[in-house]
Structure 1
């Protein structure tokens, strides 16, 4: 058994499921949040970015370890914790997919509509959605992995290139490694630590491992290296964006828009400072970060949905309807692509957005807490259960995400009250 693992390890390449989950998790919104943190606080919150990277390494490693050690999917593990997990996850994956579909298509369309404005934004959104649909419809994981590798390469050149061109102050960067909480910046700090790379897609890691063919504990060492390398690359992306915010925006007291539009503002600033060509190249990086998230969700979360539905219907393991390219997988790909196009053209109703915000804010503490339950009991073989340091980090993750979730819940409720009062 061990010999098999060694042979497999020799054949392993650096591009694996880790790069897929990391690229999916780092979207335009994550880059903007980090950019704004750099523009507001200089390098003060660099340590929080690094902490967030460590959090995600621990969470994704936990999901991967459970899958390899038990041969079970993460949803099967959740089911073993009680029916409440199904009652949470079912509504979440349906509502989240509907709203995220529109969000991902619009985010991918923004840089394209800026580069080629003669096609309206909404139609660019439809085009990107259809391209994503075509790429993942057959459920061929190797295609997804290769597309992701190309998109990550584009992101690396543009995002890291922008950071290098600002000629960062290395002493200031080192000072940012000291944990300091800026005045009035608690939620910003927690959001930065908690927002580095993914929500529901972290739980999809085990499904991508299965699609890759990494199916048992002999792949454990490879999985851990794959995950660590991927999230180090993620950390490089967000640190680079923090540098851009600190050197380009903080030093010049420039502000950018909230949301994905902030990257359009940044491309304008980069074009003015370094020339139109680099501004255009950065827009390609913006598109790569958004489109990689779209592709990853269209594939990974559809695999989760197929497992969810098949498990509920008590289908046998390996039933074609539960696999990539199977009937249930394709149902969710359709759900992600076509109904959200209505939101693209009609605007997103406030009730749907609020429901999405509430459910979405509670997913990360759900993942952290359920991993604590799965990886400390006989649901996982003793050899692969958590050590004390992993439990400590998972507990910190859960605490951070509970605070952030409560904050998002309060914002959603007050936003709803304000919308009703205003109406």
Structure 2
């Protein structure tokens, strides 16, 4: 007899590679350094919310053989609504990814700089961002989904090892760890950090990336089971990495007079406290986080824009390559310009958290159209998705009020 639903890693590992980037590292580190273990619950919520939304995205891609972008465009019969949807995708996903890409490449460069204890320059320009850009370009230019997937599986595996080893070395307080994970609390001034943690995990562009990439990997309705297995392994793995980073920062920096203002400060700050190994592994993790996101961010932008504009969704087409190439080039320019992207990344993540409910509402709407046939959302799935959207809306409102000094 043939084996059915044999477990295999797939597109969900791209989602993990996408949301564990330098922005996640710095956001999670600042959360742990400033608030200890008390915001771990936000990551637990984010993992559950990601699974709920990405399951819908994967089902959509397999059943319709189209990504979220195409489904939004074809489902929007009203030209005005379709125009708004196109503007939303182009501005929030594509332009936002360009800003993120600068942070991804800068973060990977900082990781290499800390590993080799060298800031190699070509004139006044650091050589590391160019090398990172060339690595990402080499992976993407193959036009092969299998090669891209395997490269990201290797990077996520190495990243997981690096951050989990650092977590063990710093010996977190287990009691406070579980208290922060299971008992929600919101310390003074933590509202924006909570929304940033959610925004860096439940990423809107991943809904486009996942729905499009599952159609590259799987071609039959029966593969929905494989997609779910992939999802239930890959997303919790990514969440575990984020939780490990927050806990490492809580153990190492919370309550101590250690100034962490950028990703560059993390590895050097760990070395005096826990030795060279801790600094090396956090630098290795930062490199893997940066390079994996440097591949997935341009890929997601290409999928999203090609889908919403009704272009061919093929990795080896000129239009597809032009989009991811433009995002990659912008990222290299930003990262070599000397401009520090940390603040941009932070506010982009807050913006992601605010934009998430809007994109999730589009997804929920599409999941209840006739395009899904008998694979439409069930009542239970609609309730869970609506709860996620409602909670993210409440958090978004609170973060906006906090940002404008109304709280």
Q: TM-score range by the shorter chain?
A: 0.7 to 0.9
User: In the TM superposition, what whole-angstrom CA distance separates every residue of 1:54-88 from its partner, at most 9, and x where no partner exists?
Assistant: 01111111111112222332112111134121232
Mapping of 1:33-48 within 5 angstroms? 33-48=27-42
Q: Distance in 2 between matches of 1:362 and 1:186?
A: 13
* Structure 2 residue aligned with 1:270: 270
Task: Give distance in 1, aligned partners of 2:316 and 2:132.
Answer: 20
Aligned CA RMSD, in angstroms, stands at 3.0
Alignment partner of 1:374 out of 361, 366, 382 = 366
Question: Runs of 4+ in structure 1 displaced over 6 angstroms?
Answer: 407-414
Alignment correspondent of 1:385: 376
- Alignment CA distance shift 1:93-1:232 (3 Å): closer
Q: Find out whether 1:119 has 2:86 as its counterpart.
A: no
Match of residue 74, structure 1, among 64, 68, 71: 68
**Aligned residues, how many?**
390
SS of corresponding position for 2:227:
helix
Which deviates the most, 105-114 or 95-104? 95-104
Q: C-alpha distance in 1, partners of 2:352/2:338?
A: 20
Any conservation in 2 of the 1:191–1:404 contact (CA below 8 Å)? no
TM-score, normalised with respect to structure 1 = 0.82
Q: What SS does the aligned partner of 1:322 have?
A: coil
Query: Structure 1 CA distance, aligned partners of 2:198 and 2:100?
Result: 22
1:328-361 CA-partner distances (Å, limit 9, x unpaired): 11111221222444434446699xx69x949756
Q: Are positions 1:148 and 2:152 aligned together?
A: yes
Report SS of the residue matched to 2:127. helix
CA shift at 1:183, angstroms?
3.4
Q: Return the match for 2:215 from 187, 210, 215.
A: 210
Name the counterpart of 2:230: 226
Task: Please give the alpha-carbon distance, in whole angstroms, between the structure 2 residues aligned to 1:78 and 1:51.
Answer: 26
Question: How far did 1:147 drift?
Answer: 1.2
2:324 alignment partner, one of 305, 330, 333: 333
Paired position in structure 2 for 1:195:
200
What is the distance in 1 between the residues matched to 2:323 and 2:313? Answer: 11
C-alpha contact (below 8 Å) 1:71/1:216 kept by paired residues: no
Distance 1:151 1:58 in 2: 25
Q: Residues 208 and 300 of structure 1 are in contact (CA less than 8 Å); yes or no, is this contact kept in structure 2?
A: no
Structure 2 unaligned spans of 5+: none
- Give the structure 2 partner of residue 61 of structure 1: 55
Task: For 1:100-139, list aligned pairs within 5 A.
Answer: 100-114=100-114, 115-120=116-121, 122-139=126-143
The alignment status of 1:179 with 2:175, answered yes or no, reads: no
